[in-house]
Amino acid sequence: MNAQAPADLTDMEVSALIAAEAGRVLLNLRASFDVGPEGERADDLRKAADRASHEHIVARFAELRPDDAVLSEEGKDDPIRLESDRVWIVDPLDGTKEYGQGRTDFAVHIVLWTRDPQAPGGGLLSASTVELPAQGLSRRQDDVVLPVRDLPRDRPVRIVASRTRPPAVLADAVRILDEALQAHGHDTGVEIVDVGSVGAKVNEILSGRAEAYVHDTGFYEWDVAAPLAIAHAQGLPAAHVDASPIPFNQPTPYVTSLLVGLPVITEQLRDAMQQAGSA
């Protein structure tokens, strides 16, 4: 199903094109797959989807950017990427569990790492796409920057967390954050909401349904890189929980933590997490 593409596509256009194609692969596979009345074959669907999306993405990069390296969750890690000046960091299906459950909070992540010795960690992220195929939405690094948003007054402040591995101190941190906000006259409360893919979590902030996302139990570069690049492009702070920058294309592509949020709440949430962790 490889669609033809002009040879002069920009990196951003290549990223968006391949992510959209992979999204269609995932939707078509799920629509055609019989998981059984009780979801007995959901794991089979997940494995097939991971493989199909990965194979499609790698094949398209081989066509459109044959000289670039690819770091994919589903591929064998080729150490040549550590010597390459251009590395595509890919998650063919982020939110695999949610995908197998028929939910919409899964995504395809694609972003380009380019070597830059002057940048933190030795490289820069560009051409990022977070494709949310079941939501009919694509977040791109070149999207128009959204207006700066304040905290909501008609609902609780929402902190997004992992459905399966939220921070152990998050409940205490939310209590501390709520008390701090009340001290400044914001009394709508704070609540935790769980969402699947990291890309879907960041989208909750960009869509105005949440104010921050925090994770401190570890994950991988392909989980983080594309959503972080889009968050940065939208002016959202996005870094480790301790505010240190996150480097990419590392020998071990592991990321210990991530905090993304509206500028108006990020530092307060970071302080609350640190207080809860030291209590």
Provide the residue ranges of all domains of the chain, joining segments of one domain with +: 11-140, 157-278
> For the chain, what is the mean pLDDT?
95
Is 157-278 in CATH node 3.40.190.80? Answer: yes
Its sign, for the CA torsion 11, 13, 17, 23, is positive
> Two tokens at 202?
């960041």
Cα–Cα distance, 82 to 54 (Å, whole number): 20
pLDDT bucket at 39, cuts 50 / 70 / 90 = confident
Residues 87 and 68 sit within 8 Å (Cβ to Cβ): yes
Residues 240 and 247 sit within 8 Å (Cβ to Cβ): no
Tens-digit pLDDT profile for residues 56-97: 999 999 999 999 999 999 999 999 999 999 999 999 999 999
> Two tokens at 42?
């959901």
Tens-digit pLDDT profile for residues 217-257: 999 999 999 999 999 999 999 999 999 999 999 999 999 99
Residues 57 and 72 sit within 8 Å (Cβ to Cβ): yes
Separation in Å, CA 173 to CA 161, 181, 191, 262: 12, 12, 11, 17
Cα–Cα distance, 52 to 23 (Å, whole number): 11
Tens-digit pLDDT profile for residues 106-146: 999 999 999 999 998 899 999 999 999 999 999 999 999 99
Residue 166, SS3? coil
Place of tokens 């589903």: 74
Residue 71's pLDDT is: 98
Q: What is the mean pLDDT of residues 267-271?
A: 96
Place of tokens 């992992």: 162
Residue 248's pLDDT is: 97
Residues 194 and 160 sit within 8 Å (Cβ to Cβ): yes
Which H or E run includes 47? helix 42-64
> Two tokens at 197?
């893919």
> Two tokens at 87?
């590395």
* Fold held by 11-140: Fructose-1,6-Bisphosphatase; Chain A, domain 1 (3.30.540)
First to last CA, the chain: 55
Contacts of 114 (CB under 8 A, 6+ apart): 85, 86, 123, 124, 125, 126
Which strands, in side-by-side order, build the sheet including 86-94? Answer: 69-72, 86-94, 107-115, 123-132, 137-140
Cα–Cα distance, 134 to 130 (Å, whole number): 12
Q: What is the mean pLDDT of residues 164-187?
A: 94
pLDDT at 1 over 50: no
